[in-house]
Structure 1
Amino acid sequence: MVDSSKTHEPLLVARGITRLFGNAYALSDASIALCRHEICGLLGANGAGKSTLSRIVCGHLPASSGEILFKGAPLTAGSARDALRSGIALVAQETSLAPDMSVLENIFLPSYALPGRLSFSQLRHKARAILSELGHDHALPLDIEVRRLSTAQRQLVEIAKALALNADLVIFDEPTASLSPLEVDRLFDIMGRLKSSGKALAFVSHRLEEVFAITDRVTILREGKTVAEGVPTAGLTQADVIRHMVGRDIGNVYRKAVSPAVTNEQAVALEVTGLHAPPIVRDVSFTVRKGEILGLGGLVGAGRSESAEAIFGLRHRSGGRVLVGGKEIAPNSPIAAIRAGLGMVAEDRRTQNIVPDMTVGENLFLAQMGKHRGFGRGHSARRKQAHELISRLGLPTDRMDANLLHFSGGMQQKVVIARWLLIEPEVLILDEPTKGVDIGTRQTIYELLREVAERGIAVVVISSDFEELLGLCERIVVVSDGYTIADLPTSRLSEESLTLLAAPRSSAERNAAFLRDLVAGHGGTAFWGLIDEDRFVCLAVAESARSAPMGLAAGHVYLAHETAIPLALGRRQPGHVTESDGRSTVLTPLSNRRGHDLGWIGLSLPAGSKLPNAETLSARVAGLFDTPQDEKIDA
């Protein structure tokens, strides 16, 4: 075991923690220390015991043996309520919200158990402040029932509920699993402020890049035991962490096998045109070809999951067409979708994917029952294939009769994916397929999806992890505010450009209005975009009707030499740049009040036109963020 001296006196110390479920050890001699003014990463593969240890500390489960000291005294938390009163809160991986209560009621649910009267006007004001910090005060109405929210939105309510408690110790158990990079940044800002105010934080995540970005130290579990405790993050590499977690090196999880690229000559497996499923999905269109892995990218609430549900028949579709293999499928009928060749791994594993009272085998064959016609269930023809598949996924073939809830989240996810592969679909849609799974399981899932694509199956991956989309997919369709606004090869994209493309159209309207004002005052073409090496990502454009168009369109990525302003894009500096044809362009960088880079705003005019003063334009651009409400534009 690796140990390290603590930089602060521990607020909580857990030693020798053991937890038995029946005859199986979930934890065996687990230890962790959490200090004020620090964020400690709690890491481990699926089934290592991270969530079990977190739940014991927070009073959700009793330990079979071991000792927990909090603020120097033995912790006697017999229940979650006791832990809350002591000042310990948990942001759970599987949300623990009351579905029939509103967002406001859920945020302050723990307060209902406290003595005294509640002022709902004060609670509403405090809730708005918390959601504003998370960047979702405009997207999460306080009076809406939680059951009507997406999985990612419910996760945000769970985070807000923990922040409302003002606890001394907060454990974040996979809080970013459904969040986009922008939302993760906002959460990390809040975690940083909590740390600075003297709170102790534990951060459970399978995204190692996040662990290195936010934590001061890490404690790593393997098979229920602590194998590295309190190790400074700065002295570790990702390879070091992975070796502790899985006991071996796994290499690059995104490595791609050399295989022929998907071309336009290959048949279209899924075609979606003008999909409309109010109130979220307004106009979504895309195609995916046989053997292709396509990504659907966007922020929480953009309409990605809702589009998948509408395609599969789980959500009412009021407009548009869905064709599988050239044949249109009936709306609002999952059975019709399955029999047409569609498979779907939904986002919410616990409520949408598994039947908790069924065994592994029974859950595995659920989709087969939907596709099979005639008498019987069609299990016998698939049993050998099922055993081969679960063995390939590293699942224990001798536990087919065990209850699926006895397995870790990663094991459950493998069973769900295997369920759909058994029916050999034409198109497989996966919504957040690696949510809450460890790095080793992610690699297994990625390799399996690539093998599936090589067999000619079209794969659609919805993910809030932009690194995952860029590493796994060949093309990415970006969805924003219920519309498809870009369809681009991954070779022309980066995490930064994806984040800006995915920004809500509503929040970017201030910038678009500014471009229109520039054109109204000066003519020519005004644009907002990201300059990334030799690529220009166009986010918004406005053109004067009196000048020749430059050929730019929002949602497109161009190589600099493909545009009319290659010199300006190549120099990427404030001031005037004149092209070989006499066209002049003035560029100014755009950043929000926090200093985050939001690209460039430019005005380009034909030869002989009078350009505005560069310093004046820079001052006007800076003025876009003079008021706090304008922070909404920084997506």
Structure 2
Amino acid sequence: MIDQPSNKPSDVVLVARNVAKSFGKTRALVDAGLELKAGEVHGLLGANGAGKSTLSRVITCHVRRDAGEVTFRGAPLEAATTRDALRLGIALVAQETSLAPDMSVLENIFLPELGRPARLSYGVFRRRATEILERLGHEHALPLDLEVRRLSAAQRQLVEIAKALALDANLVIFDEPTASLSPSEVERLFDIMARLRDDGRALIFVSHRLEEVFAITDRVTIMREGRTVANALPTASLTQSDIVRHMVGQDLGSVYTQAPVHAAGEVLPVVLEVSHLSAPPAVRDISFSVRRGEILGLGGLVGAGRSEAAEAIFGLRPRRGGVIKVDGREINPTKPADAIKAGIGLVAEDRRVQSIVPDLTVRENLLLAHIGAHRGFGLGYAAREKKLAALIKSLDLPADRLDANLLTFSGGMQQKVVMARWLLLEPKVLILDEPTKGVDIGTRASIYAILREIAADGVAVILISSDFEELLGLAERIVVISDGVSIADLPTASLDEEKLTLLAAPRTSTARNTEFLRRLTSDFGGTAFWALLEQDEVICLSQADATNPVATGLRPGEARAIDVTHIPQALRRREAQFVREDAGDNATLILPMRSRRGSDLGWIGLALPAAADLPPPQAIEARIAALNAID
């Protein structure tokens, strides 16, 4: 837990009391309050529609409050525009990015400065932007001259974060900043937030991921139905159940608790088979299959090629190579209509851009996919009425508001509408890209229940998620994708978040370790490997062979029971010395690998012929230590 900030009254930066705001007949805020101190990360929590984003926008002057008071640094906050708020040092990193799509990454990072009456220096901007992205750990992930319209949703979120850091604001509101980030990227962001907090800045962190709330926040304020129901509670004094109870008024239990979808040992037919899919530059060589009634996870970091692979399968992205089969029959989707006809549905990652038509009603958005699949005169709505009514009931959608504009619904409700659209067509395969991005824990639990239900009905479900806990909690198998290549296909039971993070590391990041293995075999011969070890299982991350390799029984990207490998005694004993196997034809050294911070990075192994001159284990250990020192 992060050290708690001091509680001196002089530390208070912002106080909001009795804030109210209505949009037409909708009361977004009724009696909202918040107290924020310098040098703290303050969690602002609540279910979808609780008023978190509205209160955030009141503070940043994006919207004017109808009633109540807000003081900033002891003075009433009466800024008329967001520019006034920025001048005061208040910035917002929004969940739905508000960038200029035709401008470059560099121009968007310094967008607030472009309107100032002063001479601009793009050279200075470029140096500052590089420093900011280096602090974020993404100096190579965001080309500064690239147009923002060409970025992924996650990359656009990173531009928003960089833009806030460029303002050097004293109060920064992070509204769901981690929704599109992987665990390692979240860790980098939290390092930045901790440094900003230690510099005395006040940070508001809005998130639906409770594990993140406990990892980074010092105090939390919880909202429900526009009201503050718990104000400035120390995070250390709460449990997840406490927070959920405040948010939704009831206990939800574990959102991942589930019964097996099908019986153990049951072999179901393959519905979708993808072989050597290529759609450059993001997708290079991806292969996987998914069976009827199975939930398959596609894991990896942002930019690994998971979303792009889904788009290529759905006909949204041109393919250069590869074979796609549905029920054993090869298909060649060049447009979404081809994929829909074959029985494939896609819930895309960016809800606002890719999935909904904001000017249409809920009913019209629900029936969009039906219209695309319908053949014949008229709209054919009558054919779907019975199924639509059943879906509305099962998804807990308000039947009396089907003719309302979809934008009047919360993000979680919008996501349910998009899912219902595809379920109306009864697809054979449903691909969901970040389906719980930006939704609260109650809606997440509801979506998880829906996914298990449709899998039980025989639909093959493909889940793409940057939330590794979510993948591990829902999927039966996980195919790990890195730099556009599928590098592992493992049962979920063989994985945890740490293993998945190591497997998902970009090949550019693990190239150093692979090169290290090559140098070992070049100097000493045999076979070198990098692996994750459990009590009875080994997962090989990478392997290098000399001209005289030793058979280890390991293959990169695969999990093996230790006893079926050719080096079981070495893998079990894990001693800081070479261990000879019973057969006596090889000797293997297994040594731990740790980062500078002491994090477990797996094990390095060197297997040599037993008759070879074995190097001193201390020499190999020193090489590993030197490698980790530059991590």
**TM band (smaller chain):** over 0.9
The residue aligned with 2:280 is 278
| C-alpha contact 1:581 1:607 (8 A) present in aligned 2 | no
Q: Within 1, Cα distance between the matches of 2:577 and 2:21?
A: 65
Counterparts in 2 of 1:454-469, with a 5 A limit?
454-469=456-471
Given the alignment, which residue of 566, 588, 591 partners 1:564?
Answer: 566
Per-residue CA deviations over 1:275-306 (Å, capped at 9, x if unaligned) read 11111111111111111100000001000000
The residue aligned with 2:435 is 433
Shifted more, 103-112 versus 237-246: the winner is 103-112
The residue aligned with 1:396 is 398
1:381–1:6 Cα change, 3 Å: farther
Shift of 1:264: 7.4
Shifted more, 52-61 versus 429-438: the winner is 52-61
Q: Within 2, Cα distance between the matches of 1:595 and 1:434?
A: 32
1:387 counterpart SS class: helix
Q: Within 1, Cα distance between the matches of 2:511 and 2:348?
A: 32
The residue aligned with 2:605 is 602
The residue aligned with 1:357 is 359
Which amino acid in structure 2 is aligned with residue 599 of structure 1?
Answer: G
Shift of 1:626: 4.7
The residue aligned with 1:216 is 218
1:464 counterpart SS class: coil
Q: Within 2, Cα distance between the matches of 1:534 and 1:563?
A: 11
2:516 counterpart SS class: helix
The residue aligned with 1:256 is 258
Shift of 1:471: 0.5
| C-alpha contact 1:541 1:554 (8 A) present in aligned 2 | yes
Counterparts in 2 of 1:129-208, with a 5 A limit?
129-208=131-210
Per-residue CA deviations over 1:567-606 (Å, capped at 9, x if unaligned) read 3333445443343333332233222334332112121223
Per-residue CA deviations over 1:208-267 (Å, capped at 9, x if unaligned) read 111111111110001110011111111111111100001001111111124424767422
Shifted more, 345-354 versus 103-112: the winner is 103-112
Given the alignment, which residue of 327, 348, 360 partners 2:350?
Answer: 348
Unaligned runs of 5+ in 2: none
* Aligned: 1:586 with 2:571: no
Q: Within 1, Cα distance between the matches of 2:553 and 2:153?
A: 39
Counterparts in 2 of 1:450-599, with a 5 A limit?
450-582=452-584, 583-599=586-602
Shift of 1:67: 0.7
Counterparts in 2 of 1:601-620, with a 5 A limit?
601-620=604-623
Unaligned runs of 5+ in 1: none
Task: Give % identity.
Answer: 63
Measured on the aligned residues, the alpha-carbon RMSD in Å equals 1.7
Shift of 1:611: 2.6
| C-alpha contact 1:446 1:472 (8 A) present in aligned 2 | yes
1:152–1:262 Cα change, 3 Å: farther
Which stretches of structure 1, 4 residues or more, deviate above 6 A after TM superposition?
A: none
The residue aligned with 2:414 is 412
Q: Within 1, Cα distance between the matches of 2:550 and 2:535?
A: 27
1:460 counterpart SS class: strand
Q: Within 2, Cα distance between the matches of 1:533 and 1:408?
A: 46
Given the alignment, which residue of 17, 20, 23 partners 1:18?
Answer: 20
2:204 counterpart SS class: strand
The residue aligned with 2:63 is 61
| C-alpha contact 1:543 1:549 (8 A) present in aligned 2 | no
| C-alpha contact 1:11 1:70 (8 A) present in aligned 2 | yes
Per-residue CA deviations over 1:514-542 (Å, capped at 9, x if unaligned) read 10110111111111122234322211101
The residue aligned with 1:93 is 95
Q: Within 1, Cα distance between the matches of 2:322 and 2:154?
A: 26
Per-residue CA deviations over 1:425-448 (Å, capped at 9, x if unaligned) read 010000000001111111111111
1:508 counterpart SS class: helix
Shift of 1:506: 1.5
| C-alpha contact 1:531 1:572 (8 A) present in aligned 2 | no
| C-alpha contact 2:261 2:452 (8 A) present in aligned 1 | no
Q: Within 2, Cα distance between the matches of 1:339 and 1:169?
A: 51
Shift of 1:364: 0.5
Shift of 1:96: 0.8
1:618–1:122 Cα change, 3 Å: farther
Q: Within 2, Cα distance between the matches of 1:387 and 1:351?
A: 27
| C-alpha contact 1:6 1:230 (8 A) present in aligned 2 | no
1:411 counterpart SS class: helix
1:523–1:14 Cα change, 3 Å: same
| C-alpha contact 1:262 1:292 (8 A) present in aligned 2 | no
TM-score norm. by structure 2 comes to: 0.96
Given the alignment, which residue of 447, 451, 474 partners 1:445?
Answer: 447
Q: Within 1, Cα distance between the matches of 2:27 and 2:569?
A: 64
2:340 counterpart SS class: helix
1:18–1:264 Cα change, 3 Å: same
2:509 counterpart SS class: coil
Shift of 1:470: 0.6
1:287 counterpart SS class: strand
Per-residue CA deviations over 1:86-109 (Å, capped at 9, x if unaligned) read 101111000111111111111111
Shifted more, 159-168 versus 257-266: the winner is 257-266
The residue aligned with 1:7 is 7
2:251 counterpart SS class: coil
Q: Within 1, Cα distance between the matches of 2:598 and 2:472?
A: 26
1:364–1:262 Cα change, 3 Å: farther
| C-alpha contact 2:261 2:294 (8 A) present in aligned 1 | no
1:348–1:241 Cα change, 3 Å: same
Shift of 1:618: 2.1
| C-alpha contact 2:551 2:566 (8 A) present in aligned 1 | no
Given the alignment, which residue of 239, 244, 247 partners 1:245?
Answer: 247
2:272 counterpart SS class: strand
TM-score norm. by structure 1 comes to: 0.96
| C-alpha contact 1:526 1:543 (8 A) present in aligned 2 | yes
1:574–1:390 Cα change, 3 Å: farther
